[in-house]
Amino acid sequence: MTLIIVDMQPYFGGSQEPWLIDNIQREIRSAKKCGDGIIILEYEGCGRTDKRVLRTLGKYPKGLVRYKDDCDGSEIAVETMEARKFDTTKVKIVGVETDACVEATIMGLSYLLPSADIILVADACNHETRTQRNHGRSKIRRKNIRYINTRRKIPKNLYNLH
């Protein structure tokens, strides 16, 4: 499996929620334990990935940061997976914003890797508003993306993505 972390930069307000950081750190630790590839996508001009996320990644040899200049990070992610020989058959997505860069990256991945099992970890994704979440969710659902929700460390008032 390959874990893709989208735009966990302080510029994006939704990226700083403690529950989200905790859940993304959980996904990083799990990927490292399994020896999976980890790609952190950063939107150019929006600062560095949150230091807690980078600290959890550490000097993991199968983890790297890649930069993108628009919402869709799928081409950069696929190029990286192929060049580094990361798994392209099973991809897990976490990060922000559900209605923008997460959505665009998932849509691109579903086109570039049509037979891949693409998993959106609902409790390791965030968005600015409920309207944005619903907009992104409805578009993503049309592409048969699988959702999982660990239901750990997620606020009671946050609406689930499924």
| Angle between helical axes of 74-84 and 101-112 (0-180°, round to 10) | 50
Radius of gyration for the chain, computed over Cα atoms and rounded to the nearest angstrom: 14
pLDDT at 18 over 80: yes
Q: What percent of the chain has pLDDT over 90?
A: 59
* Per-position b or e across 35-52, b if 16+ CB within 10 A of its CB: ebbbbbbbbeeeeebbee
pLDDT at 150 over 70: no
Structure tokens at 89: 């058959």
Domains and CATH numbers, the chain: 2-148 (3.40.50.850)
pLDDT at 72 over 90: yes
What's at 12, amino acid-wise? F
Q: Which residue has the higher pLDDT, 132 or 139?
A: 139
Q: What is the pTM of this model?
A: 0.85
